[in-house]
Amino acid sequence: MKYLIIFLTLLNLYGFDIKVSIDNLRNSKGVVAFYLYNKDDSIPDKTLSHYYKKEISNIKNNKASVIFKNIPKGKYTISALHDENNNGKIDKGFMLPKEGIGFTNYKKINLLNKPNFKNASFELNKNETKKIKIIYF
């Protein structure tokens, strides 16, 4: 019992891992940037500058994945950008992104269903696996 308590304490000190995957990319061009957020009102993040952590994944067979390691217990959301031209920003047409975007807990995005931290967030208190659906406009 003593070792179990020590193990759980150490686990909580070092944090948890979040594995994130996407399997519906329209092509294998560019990279996918994954952004982890931990603050209310941090999304939508039009300038991609309010994130807590960022990971980049190469694309293979229209799929991408990353692991955020040693993340402390808390409330988080993840967004992803299919950066087809690998320029590190959200390219837009008339108001809407030209490249694919996605958020945890969102299957579709429109004027009545805009991403926000409250709806996209999840509680992290164990290792997690999340799938994000990329949406193209």
Domain spans, the chain: 2-131
- Cα 10–chain centre separation: 26
In this prediction, residue 4 carries a pLDDT of 52
Segment 114-125 shows an average pLDDT of 95
Q: What CATH number has the domain spanning 2-131?
A: 2.60.40
User: First CA to last CA across the chain, in angstroms?
Assistant: 54
The rounded distance, in Å, linking the Cα atoms of 133 and 120 is: 12
Q: Give the 3-state secondary structure of residue 128.
A: strand
The rounded distance, in Å, linking the Cα atoms of 34 and 3 is: 36
In this prediction, residue 7 carries a pLDDT of 60
pLDDT digits (tens, 9 = 90+) for 6-42: 565 555 567 999 999 999 999 999 999 999 999 998 8
**pTM, two decimal places:** 0.88
pLDDT digits (tens, 9 = 90+) for 65-108: 999 999 999 999 999 999 999 999 999 988 889 999 999 999 99
